[in-house]
């Protein structure tokens, strides 16, 4: 069997590897040894797994593989944000972003090559969905970069917020999160993992029932008409339904839900928009991340003035919300929020100004 058609052990949880090797007559505990080699030692071949018998390693190499995507390019911003372009086995590309913090990195991970949600302000959505990523392609963005980072700050936070809608690739994303938070996997606390969604309400409820991680919702408007215009997903899951799912979501510990609000000049940045937002979220235990829109060549929306951003924030603060103005990092290399398109930034100037179609446009026309 050609190697690329063998199952990838990085697509499996501990329990699945146990089942895989048990079906081939090996003891279950070998699965824990394999997981440690993959996620603790960063092994790139079965040969490196020296506490497994040689004949078992040879047998494994004929049954499975452990390949990871290649890093094709790394761009570094003036603010030290890094954008990493990965090439997948089938030639598609995805991007991850390393965002600097105080003595640590936050990694923004992609879950799909492209996206079919069609948010009007997002460059990733312009090209539509190419395909969803496998669990190994999600976790490898972390493991490959953990290995590549020099001594010093390490990855401490993981946000599933890069290219794609994580809840539109639910099974693979859930499995990736299980590997990320497993003691035998990457060992991250569930409090260090955040999933950001555009608002697939039923899947939010499902996620809450399956696993406990932080949740962020890309909101961007407090009225259905405006939100549907910006985010076609709102036509299928309007605000009432979305907020109902949010209210039922079990956050880890006493943590707050995060609502992300991208401010676009003249679109959703007025005092009235802020007051609507205050009213909409009044009974939710939440905080708000405000992000000034990052323009890209051909974008239909504009960055708001500092004054309007500040006035918007003040209205939220006066109403006792935690409203943090997020500095856009990596703008010069098109690594900022909504700017990822799976290409090196020098070729990103071809984005069309016309709104893309989305998975929800057809449904809307039918409705």
Residues annotated as catalytic are: 95, 337
Q: Which residues have CB under 8 Å from 166's CB, separation 6+?
A: 111, 160, 173, 195, 196, 197
- Taken in order 226, 231, 236, 241, the sign of the CA dihedral is negative
Q: Which of residues 124-163 bind ligand SF4 (CB under 6 A)?
A: 124-125, 163
Dist CA 99 CA 185 (whole Å): 23
Q: Which of 119, 159, 167, 243 binds ligand SF4 (CB under 6 A)?
A: 119
Q: How far is the CB of 233 from ligand SF4 (least distance, A)?
A: 7
DSSP 40: I
Please say which residue, 60 or 177, places its beta carbon nearer to ligand SF4: 177
Find the part of the chain contacting ligand SF4 (CB under 6 A) among 74-82, 111-119, 327-335, 347-355: 111-119
Report if residue 115 touches ligand SF4, rule: CB under 6 A. yes
Q: How far is the CB of 42 from ligand SF4 (least distance, A)?
A: 29
Dist CA 342 CA 337 (whole Å): 13
Q: How many CB atoms lie within 10 A of CB 318?
A: 11
The site string for ligand SF4 over 160-179 (x = CB under 6 A, - otherwise) reads: ---xxx--------------
Residue of this chain nearest to ligand SF4 (CB atom): 125
Q: Which of 117, 145, 173, 245 binds ligand SF4 (CB under 6 A)?
A: 117
Q: How far is the CB of 328 from ligand SF4 (least distance, A)?
A: 15
Alpha-helical runs (H) found in 169-305: 170-181, 201-210, 224-230, 233-236, 239-247, 271-280
By the 8 A CB rule, do 125 and 117 touch? yes
Dist CA 281 CA 321 (whole Å): 9
Please say which residue, 94 or 98, places its beta carbon nearer to ligand SF4: 94
Q: How far is the CB of 218 from ligand SF4 (least distance, A)?
A: 6
Dist CA 132 CA 110 (whole Å): 10
Report if residue 288 touches ligand SF4, rule: CB under 6 A. no
Nearest to 361 by CA among 236, 199, 237: 236
Report if residue 232 touches ligand SF4, rule: CB under 6 A. no
Dist CA 47 CA 50 (whole Å): 7
Q: How far is the CB of 191 from ligand SF4 (least distance, A)?
A: 23
Q: How far is the CB of 126 from ligand SF4 (least distance, A)?
A: 8
Distances (CA, A) of 119 to 75, 92, 177, 198, 227: 25, 21, 25, 8, 10
Please say which residue, 21 or 122, places its beta carbon nearer to ligand SF4: 122
Report if residue 328 touches ligand SF4, rule: CB under 6 A. no
Report if residue 201 touches ligand SF4, rule: CB under 6 A. no
Query: Hey, which residues does 218 pair with through a beta bridge?
Result: 260
The site string for ligand SF4 over 12-31 (x = CB under 6 A, - otherwise) reads: --------------------
Report if residue 195 touches ligand SF4, rule: CB under 6 A. no
The token pair at 6 is: 């063998």
The token pair at 59 is: 């047998």
Q: Which of 17, 97, 122, 172 binds ligand SF4 (CB under 6 A)?
A: 122
Residues at the interface with ligand SF4 (CB under 6 A): 115, 117-119, 122, 124-125, 163-165, 198, 218, 338
């Amino acid at each position: 069997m050609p190697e690329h058609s063998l199952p990838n052990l990085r697509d499996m949880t501990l329990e699945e590897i146990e089942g895989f090797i048990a079906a081939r007559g090996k003891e279950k505990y070998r699965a824990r040894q394999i997981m440690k080699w993959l996620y603790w030692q960063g092994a790139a071949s079965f040969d490196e797994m020296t506490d497994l018998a040689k004949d078992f390693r040879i047998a494994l190499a004929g049954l499975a593989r452990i390949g990871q995507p290649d890093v094709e390019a790394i761009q570094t911003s003036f603010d030290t944000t890094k954008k990493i372009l990965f090439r997948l086995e089938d030639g598609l590309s995805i991007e991850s972003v390393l965002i600097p913090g105080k003595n640590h990195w936050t990694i923004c991970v992609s879950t799909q090559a492209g996206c079919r949600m069609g948010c009007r302000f997002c460059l990733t959505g312009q090209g539509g969905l190419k395909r969803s990523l496998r669990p190994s392609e999600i976790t490898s963005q972390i493991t490959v970069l953990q290995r590549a980072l020099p001594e010093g700050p390490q990855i401490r936070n993981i946000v599933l917020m890069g290219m794609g809608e994580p809840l539109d690739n639910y099974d693979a994303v859930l499995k990736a999160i299980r590997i990320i938070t497993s003691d035998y996997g990457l060992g991250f606390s569930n409090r260090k993992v955040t999933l950001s969604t555009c608002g697939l309400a039923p899947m939010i409820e499902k996620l809450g029932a399956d696993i406990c991680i932080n949740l962020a919702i890309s909101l961007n408007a407090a009225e259905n008409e405006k939100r549907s215009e910006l985010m076609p997903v709102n036509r299928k899951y309007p605000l009432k339904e979305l907020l109902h799912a949010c209210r039922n979501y079990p956050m880890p510990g006493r943590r707050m839900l995060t609502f992300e609000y991208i401010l676009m000049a003249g679109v959703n940045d007025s005092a009235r928009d802020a007051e609507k937002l205050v009213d909409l979220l009044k009974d939710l235990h939440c905080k708000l991340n405000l992000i000034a829109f990052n323009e890209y060549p051909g974008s239909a929306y504009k960055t708001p003035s500092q004054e309007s951003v500040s006035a918007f924030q003040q209205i939220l603060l006066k109403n006792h919300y935690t409203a943090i103005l997020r500095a856009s990092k990596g703008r010069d290399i098109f690594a900022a929020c909504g700017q990822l398109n799976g290409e090196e930034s020098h070729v990103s100037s071809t984005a069309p100004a016309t709104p893309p179609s989305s998975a929800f446009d057809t449904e809307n026309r039918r409705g």
